[in-house]
Chains A and B, each alone.
Chain A
């Protein structure tokens, strides 16, 4: 059974053929009209990103497909690469035409090494069909794609850390500005897009911006691919239009009795049952596609404990708030579980979480306290009962 029917219905050459007949600004205009926003989590408008890279002046430019997929609870890029790699490569080729890049790099998560032979075969076939190479379909476009294996660090999914890693350095986020669209791989303008974003770009060229826009909400157009896991009857990869409410989504996967849902992975938000009428969209609850369902028997502190352990492991360690802050939040959860955390200290930790969101260098530290803060906010009564009465200042 194919879990992503829309992708399955596409012709994985049509979009590129159409793009080759268009001028660069026209391609970007089509993407812009579709309203496509990045599917990797941050939701940055794809056309704006391409346009920056297109207008940057440089001897070389790069298209980088981010297939690091490290966010806990995300596995949709794996399925897309498994079943629809052609669309992803097509999206990269279209992006190359749009910004004027000759080289594409697929940054593939280390754990997905088993996918590599398949992907290499798809690339070989595309080269054979002249969909990649010195002269793509005789349309005066030179572009090829190579695969670079990541080594399993979550932080390498952050685009600037990914670029450092590509250059052979420790995977650590860079200061921004400058942004990758100006100063990216080897200091050249680079477009970094999520696997799914690129696949949608190919679909949009093929089906038109209006087709894409007809789905989803006004601010969050189109369809989104979800990876759904946890306490539900039918976990797996799904496509739903943007704007779907949490309740609707839960009913489709058999998770109606959930007490909470974590949306956006470990760095996302923890939504309690009382807010299941909210919708999943950039304007309400943004997500890179991870949905983790927590059934009635779950202890939210266990959930938090797990997430924070993840961040304590995965922080690159360069900036103070994230390197040491996550440890303090984790210790706080341990104290709560042991009944040794005072209300005052819990308040202090929440303030620390907010400082981490504000002052961390990259998205990891900026979003790692989200789960902590949302659990404390949404499950306040439950947590209050577990603080100690010893309320020292």
Chain B
């Protein structure tokens, strides 16, 4: 199909939108309600263009080309209409840019600039019309800045299939509201923050705990330690103008020390620990089912994504027994820091402030779960998003990309590639498989998968399913001897695993399990609440798109490939903690006390 845009011919497949066709030839059509992850809405009308022969302007994002049309993207009519639309939006948008978190990263602001808005033609609100909803641990809603593009609604309903928020009311009384106009903290919301990542303005943002963290840093009595997760490290460069997929792991270490953190640790350490705990838990379930012939809850579900965990608690509470009881790496680290580390270094745990750099808004909810305090102290005091930390670094006058590189602090300084890949969908599964294959089969992963890259579980396909026949078993390694006499019960078995990312895909898998389908036969399933996994988390730099997430994932896999140690069970620091502290081994009594948790069947009831 050939169409003409501003006099230029462009060939596109039938059904391509005018917007996509224009992008092909570099013609810029402004958008606001359009988002590459979401279905078309065509509501803001900012992308209006003239199509020859049509009486009205057409929304370029919503117009599929099916004839050789002639399009003009910036005629007088078009420019005036867009200008009016931006003017109207501003007339209903309370807030000053300099006092907004999204200053310099706001699509409304850019539109105003692009369209030469020099005064408020149709006025500007002088007072806020809505109270700010801060009831959620994770997501703050400020409807005064909402432009009703509905990207959050489409994210919540179509992309995530959670359906927390909807448009309510007609005309200029229409607003985005949670069910029954309840505060967000009181309804079925999984805190994934995907709505934040897709909000074009400052109407949605994450709870901000930077002031509390600064206060701790400024308090000389406090020993403030931060753990950094791999996916924010792969994305934080975007907040400093670098292209997506530029990892700044070691530059960040320097910046964090300069900003005032006392110690900088790598969450990878507890990612490796998680693999041992969760992997052992899986093997124990298999032993129960295959050796002892007792009922065991299969498939086992991963539990490191707090968005996913809360999703399951709300929508499939009857499957709580399937969730691994292992805490997430963030929480394990907190628990270890306030016990093992405190003891080892003679610091009173009450003076330790644990901060976690996470890609995630749901981590803020997770660290405030009342059960996450097994040491007698809150495991993790503050979960910071990538965006919050970028802000702190900027406040410190540091230009992150300019920082010299430095290592993580000991005693958890050794990391493995397996910990790194937790950040991308499929990564937890790959890490678990690397360990389980080696511990059980007595072979090297490299014998089965080139460079230990378990490619079948990688990628962005919404749901992936893999079978691994266990043809031979090896000797039981020392750390597990107290739990397993031998692996014979696994010989000849086929390990069935699956990976799903984004709760819409999780829902597909769960519904299949409920029906007794293919996935109900799985042994282990990795679920991530966010599309793409942690690299697409709700705390990551804005904007997001499939391309941006792919670039971040590529950075993570590149980092994995560069590690000397690629497998969790080979991490010497992990071996050490089992030797010195968790002396009864993985899934032993001590680790159960500290590193495992329980869940709450929430159902769909609301406060």
A residues apposed to B, CB below 8 Å: 153, 155, 170, 175, 177-178, 312-321, 323-328, 348, 351-352, 354-361, 366
Contact = CB atoms under 8 A, between A and B. Distances in A.
A348 B66 CA distance: 36
Contact of A361 (B42, B88, B173): B42
Contact of A366 (B42, B56, B59): B56
Interface residues of chain B: helix, strand, loop or mixed (majority): loop
Contacts of B89: 320, 324
Contact of B59 (A175, A326, A327): A175
A316 B48 contact: no
Contact of A320 (B88, B121, B167): B88
Contacts of B91: 324, 328
Interface of B: 40-46, 48, 56-57, 59, 62-64, 66, 77, 80-81, 84-85, 88-89, 91-92, 121-122, 147-148, 150, 167, 169-174
Contacts of A318: 41, 43, 148, 150, 167, 174
8 contacts: A175-B59, A177-B66, A312-B172, A324-B91, A351-B80, A355-B85, A356-B84, A361-B43
A319 B43 contact: yes
Residue picked from A170, A318, A356, most chain B C-beta under 10 Å: A318
A322 to B, nearest CB: 8
Given A153-B170, A328-B88, A356-B84, 12 more contacts: A175-B62, A175-B63, A177-B66, A313-B170, A319-B43, A320-B44, A320-B88, A321-B88, A324-B88, A326-B172, A352-B122, A361-B42
Contact of B167 (A153, A317, A324, A358): A317
Nearest to B61: A175
Contacts of A178: 64
Nearest to A327: B172
Contacts of A352: 84, 88, 122
A323 B56 contact: no
A359 B81 contact: yes
3 nearest CB pairs, A to B: A317-B174, A324-B88, A175-B62
A9 to B, nearest CB: 38
Nearest to B87: A352
A326 B42 CA distance: 19
A172 to B, nearest CB: 8
B129 to A, nearest CB: 13
Given A358-B81, A359-B57, A320 B45 contact: yes
Contact of A325 (B41, B42, B88, B167): B88
A170 B46 CA distance: 23
B45 A360 contact: yes
Contacts of B46: 320
Contacts of B150: 318
B64 A177 contact: yes
B88 A170 contact: no
A355 B40 CA distance: 22
A359 B172 contact: no
Given A177-B64, A320-B85, A323-B148, A358 B57 contact: yes
B100 to A, nearest CB: 20
A359 to B, nearest CB: 4
A326 B171 contact: yes
Contacts of A324: 88-89, 91-92, 122, 172
Contacts of B147: 320
B85 A323 contact: no
A348 B92 CA distance: 17
B172 A315 contact: yes
Nearest to A351: B80
B59 A358 contact: no
A321 B62 contact: no
Contacts of A155: 170
A359 B172 CA distance: 17
A323 B84 contact: no
A375 B405 CA distance: 70
Nearest to A352: B84
B172 A355 contact: no
Nearest to B92: A324
B44 A315 contact: no
A321 B66 CA distance: 27
A358 B56 contact: yes
Contacts of B42: 175, 319, 361
B171 A321 contact: no
Contacts of A348: 121
A92 B64 CA distance: 31
Given A315-B170, A326-B171, A351 B84 contact: yes
Contacts of B44: 319-320
Contacts of B148: 317-318, 320, 323
A314 B170 CA distance: 7
Contacts of B63: 175, 177
